[in-house]
Amino acid sequence: MNKSHFSKIIAGTMSWGVWGKNFNTNEVQRMIQTTVDLGISSFDHADIYGGYTTESAFGTAFSKTGISRSSVQFISKCGIQLKTPNRSNELKHYDCSKAYIIASAEASLKHLQTDYLDVLLIHRPSPLMHPYEVMEAIERLKKEGKINHFGVSNFTPSQVDLIASEVAIAVNQIEFSAVQCQALFDGRLDQMLTQKITPMAWAPLGGIFSEETTPQKKRILDQLESLAAVYNATPDQLMLAWILHHPSGIHPVIGSTNLERIKAASNAVSIHLSTQDWFKILESSQGHEVP
């Protein structure tokens, strides 16, 4: 899959609805328009966001923007069944059956008011998923023009191999940041690089600016502050630049609802860390020099 298909920075919509800011239609419309104007053309969704309500709010607002559908990219995820008032589920669980994947994709199309998804991801791996059944769902959705590409989210290398035995995987969206950087060493990013799977990183700031502080976060922040003047950049921009430096071509999915922070994030693509400065941030994360 051509990585240029998505904007380098992706806008995450999870907090746009009732799980976060609960924006009204005009506010969502402004978020979409401003984000696109900043060169961020890819929008990350999941059917569960807002208890299965955020996609619909986005679709209503997007229909009023006048933005061409072909100039933006819609990503959505399915497979998690939540216990919510609008579902009859007795507990949170996963469903990767053929019928559920197809029904979820079709519901996302309806809510987003679009004819196709640029990519559909399985949100979380299920112990009960069968690669052939997933393939049957994806092949049907592709044949009907309802999705262009298929991917996964939060999958380990062995889980990717399991599904890839039957259906091509274009994307794996994982948690990744300077705070949570295990994917550098557990084979996930190696696999994506060698198999030409596009990596996307959720929580790319790793909660480093939250009130909950840890010795690791303090070390990273201290290092970022020391590099800020060198690169004329903010710590959050440097966090994104650190991710963007990886050779696998990671696309950070930013969850901010603050337009100024989104603008700052969009400028991170022009920051090019030196190799030694990249390792300084890694060292601050691990608390020791590399072996």
Catalytic residues: 49
Asked if residue 158 lies in contact with residue 127, where contact means CB atoms within 8 angstroms, the answer is no
How far apart are the C-alpha atoms of 178 and 282, rounded to whole Å?
Answer: 7
Q: E-strand spans in the chain?
A: 10-12, 42-44, 73-78, 80-81, 93-94, 117-122, 147-153, 171-175, 198-202, 251-254
**Number of Cβ atoms within 10 Å of the Cβ of 274:** 12
Q: E-strand spans in 45-170?
A: 73-78, 80-81, 93-94, 117-122, 147-153
How far apart are the C-alpha atoms of 74 and 5, rounded to whole Å?
Answer: 11
Phi and psi torsions of 134, nearest 5°: -60, -45
> The tokens 């997007």 sit on which residue?
62
Q: CA of 193: how far to CAs of 54, 140, 239, 248, in Å? A: 32, 28, 21, 5
Q: Is 49 exposed, middle or buried (0-12, 13-18, 19+ CB in 10 A)?
A: buried
How far apart are the C-alpha atoms of 280 and 41, rounded to whole Å?
Answer: 32
Tokens of 202: 């959720």
